[in-house]
Amino acid sequence: MTVGLIANATIGVQVPPISVQDLPRITEVALVLASHGFGELGRLVGVETRNKQSDSPFGMRLRLALADLGPTFIKLGQVLSVRPDILPADVLDELAHLQDDAPRVEFGQIKTLVEQELLRPLEEVFQSFDEEPIASASIAQVHTATLLDGRRVAVKVQRPGIEKLLRSDLHILYTLAHLIEGQIKFPGLYTPVEIAQEFQAAMESELDFLQEARACERFRAQHRNVNGVHAPEVYRELGTRRVMVMAMVDGMRLNRVVPGSEEGKAAMRRLIESWYLQLFEHGFFHGDPHPGNLLVLPGGELCFLDFGLTGHLTGEMQDVMTSVFTGLVFRDAETVALAIYRAGATNERVDLKAFRGEIQRLMSKYQGASLARLSENSSLTEFIQVASLYRIQLPREFAVIARATSIVDGIARRLLPDVDIVEEVRPLAARLMQTRLGPERLSADAMRLMQHAQSAFRDLPTQANQLLTDLERGRISVTTRDPESEELRTEIRHAAIRVSLAICALALGVSGAILIAPWSPQPWGVPLLAIAGAGVSMVALVMFAGLVAHWLFATRFHPREWSRRLMAVVRFFVG
């Protein structure tokens, strides 16, 4: 027995059917959730659990629950930890603390996998290969090795069987998402199924080391002429989908640098410069620049690691980012509000005046304040969450950028505590405005505008003729909508149903009484009409009961929702 195929429109693949054999795992998930105070979720998926009461914050309980559920759910928490458009800031901060440490895989399994991927014995590729990993996570573990020519490398090896495990648990996530769809309201603008799709897209990328290698090479090429910013060299001839070999980089993690030291200040300013280039010039950015992914080399040089999460910005997105950045630096709340509003999608009317007021309130936190005096939550994630509050759904790239910027902000808070961050980035904003208003950019924009105008004017006569033809043949209709009229129509429909039921019940009741009358004939000695009258009277009684039920529960009973649930159950056991 299986549940039907679940299509993932985001990345264009189909998730295989979910077997009933997954039900024990679903029950296990429900029990773990209940042990951390999420028993209501278990009941929504049909598992009765005893909810454990807890006074701990929601974010902490969620982090502990995901940690107890294993590697897939830990990864889910890490993916969500960079999405302020899905979860609030306090929950993001908790999920950012999820530890990805995993038991080490035996070297024999690692050796077998590497040899299978490289299609030759380990000794033909490496002069030496350290059996003990220097890092072990849920997706992969990293070993140091030496190539035959003496170069020291880091070898990232995917854990054997991890892809199968992740896909199996992904099926369960889809099952849970469909079961709770519409049952609970999530804080952001995403539904449970959409969150599962986002997670699948992230996993598809992280399980493909060839994609990570290409991202690392692209970053390295774009920073080739940037002084003091690097990425490891990738040896593509030794890379596969499950094995990645790159140059070994010796350095100190950024979170171990002494605050206020010259080395720390140099590294931080290079990080800010690189972040500016990634967003506004290259349009390709590192999505997870936390201190563990940043190494400080002698002289304050900076090396980026782990390109499993990256993002791409279109020219239009870069224009939005430019407007937001310059608006923040030059205290133009109107520009920031309009840029965010135009970049997003919403089906509801937005109170732009109130939205601008919220943006102005957030901007006031940064003006003239050093990083040490800023609150812990002062970051671009607040702007994303305000947009969500006004039902403006921004592209996922903006959410990832906002979270990554908040990480950079946290690093700066530690290394440059006495610096006014707005004044620190003002030269970058001025440079950006100069580029945007320069002759080359203005001429390019003018040429593009003229091209669009030419296309519009060229199509105008055809569109006008089509409009006149449709008008002449009566193909044009004007439709208006009034929210109050919808409620009125619903009430009229309910009243018509009640009147119909009342008339039918009355008519059938009278007919039944007549048929049951003692003078009714009895052909062949059987009171056929009396029996028919009794049946009609029962129908009348049922219709009267239906009338009473409709009067009491019309606003609570939704036939479409009940039919959807019924069909889901039928598909589960029959499909």
Task: Classify 70 as helix, strand or coil.
Answer: coil
Q: What pLDDT is recorded for position 99?
A: 64
Tell me the residue type at 145. Answer: A
End-to-end CA distance of the chain: 6
Most confident of 347-361, 423-437, 474-488: 347-361
Highest mean pLDDT among 233-237, 423-427, 487-491: 233-237
More confident residue, 455 or 342: 342
Residue for token pair 């109050």? 484
* Average pLDDT score over residue span 136-156: 93
Cα→Cα distances 33→88, 198, 266, 273, Å:
20, 21, 45, 43
Q: What is the mean pLDDT of residues 240-267?
A: 89
Average pLDDT over residues 76-105: 78
Task: Provide the residue type at 431 as one letter.
Answer: R
Identify whether the C-beta of residue 299 lies closer than 8 Å to the C-beta of residue 266. yes
Q: CA distances (Å), 568 to each of 16, 43, 157, 173, in order? A: 17, 16, 41, 16
CA distances to 5, 8, 211, 298 from 13, rounded to whole Å, are 11, 6, 17, 46
Q: E-assigned strands of 26-179?
A: 126-129, 135-136, 140-147, 152-158
Alpha-carbon distance of 436 to 295, in angstroms, equals 33
How many CB atoms are located within 10 Å of the residue 536 CB?
Answer: 20
Split at pLDDT 50, 70, 90, the class of 14 is: very low
The pLDDT of 544-561, averaged and rounded, is 63
Reduced 3-state DSSP string for 476-493: CCCCCCCHHHHHHHHHHH
Q: Tell me: pLDDT of 349 over 90.
A: no
The distance of Cα 312 from the centroid of its chain, to the nearest Å, equals: 16
261 vs 536, which has greater pLDDT?
261
Q: What number is the average pLDDT over the span 369-378?
A: 50
How distant, in Å, are the alpha carbons of 45, 46, 191, 272 from that of 29?
10, 12, 19, 42
- pLDDT level of residue 54 (50, 70, 90 thresholds): low
Query: Is the model more confident about 258 or about 229?
Result: 229
Query: Which region, left, alpha or beta, applies to residue 70 given φ > 0 means left and ψ of -120 to 50 means alpha?
Result: left
Cβ-contact 569, 516 below 8 angstroms: no
Mean local confidence (pLDDT), 113-129: 94
Token pair 């945007």 is at which residue? Answer: 436
Number of neighbouring beta carbons within 10 Å of residue 444 = 11
Predicted local distance difference test score (pLDDT) of residue 249: 93
The mean-pLDDT minimum among 147-161, 240-254, 315-329 falls in 315-329
> Does 519 have pLDDT greater than 80?
no
What pLDDT does 330 receive?
Answer: 82
Which one is predicted more confidently, 321 or 210? 210
Tell me the per-residue pLDDT of 274-293, one tens digit each, with 9 for 90 and over: 998 999 989 999 988 888 88
pLDDT of residue 2: 31
Distance between CA atoms of residues 330 and 333, nearest Å: 9
d(Cα 213, Cα 232) in Å, to the nearest integer? Answer: 10
Q: What is the pLDDT of residue 176?
A: 76
* Helices and strands per DSSP (H, E), number in the chain: 20, 15
Q: Percentage of residues in the chain with pLDDT exceeding 90?
A: 20
* Mean pLDDT for the chain overall: 77
Q: How far is CA 447 from the centre of its chain?
A: 37
SS3 140: strand
Higher-confidence position of 212 and 391: 212
Most confident of 123-137, 379-393, 509-523: 123-137
CB within 8 A of 429, min separation 6: which ones? 325, 326, 329, 330
Taking CA atoms, 103 is separated from 133, 144, 158, 452, in Å, by 11, 18, 13, 58
Residues ≥6 apart with Cβ < 8 Å to 450:
none
For residue range 438-488, list pLDDT tens digits in order: 676 566 666 666 766 666 677 777 777 777 787 777 777 777 766 666 677
Beta bridge partners of 303: 230, 295
Strands 229-230 and 301-304: parallel
pLDDT of 449 reads: 67
For residues 150-177, give the mean pLDDT.
87
Element (H, E) at 462: helix 439-472
For position 561, what pLDDT does the model report? 59
Q: Which amino acid is at 386?
A: V
In total, the chain counts a number of residues equal to 575
Closest CA relative to residue 171, chosen from 58, 6, 380, 338:
6
Which residue has better confidence, 128 or 344? 128
Nearest to 8 by CA among 185, 182, 190, 174: 174
- Kindly calculate the radius of gyration of the chain based on its CA atoms and give it in whole angstroms: 32
pLDDT at position 503 is 76
Beta strand 126-129 with 140-147: parallel, antiparallel or unpaired?
antiparallel
Q: How many CB atoms lie within 10 A of CB 460?
A: 10
544: CB partners within 8 A, 6+ apart: 501, 502, 505, 509
Does residue 78 register a pLDDT over 50? Answer: yes
Contact 412, 419 (CB under 8 A): yes
Phi-psi group of 309: left, alpha or beta (phi > 0 → left; psi -120 to 50 → alpha; rest → beta): beta
402 neighbors 384 (Cβ within 8 angstroms): yes
Whether the pLDDT of residue 11 is over 50: the answer is no
pLDDT at 444: 63
Q: What local confidence, expressed as pLDDT, does residue 48 receive?
A: 58
pLDDT above 70 (res 341): yes
Using the predicted structure, report yes or no on whether residue 414 has a pLDDT greater than 70. yes
User: CB neighbours of 12 closer than 8 A, spacing ≥ 6?
Assistant: none
∠ at Cα 333 (327, 339), nearest 5°? 65
Domain range summary for the chain, segments of one domain joined by +:
2-100+164-205, 327-425, 491-574
Judged against a pLDDT cut of 80, whether residue 229 lies above it is answered with yes
- For residue 10, is pLDDT > 60? no
Q: Which pLDDT does position 214 carry in this prediction?
A: 95
Percent of the chain's residues with pLDDT above 70: 73
Q: Hey, what amino acid is at 191?
A: T
| C-alpha–C-alpha distance, residues 280 and 436, integer Å | 10
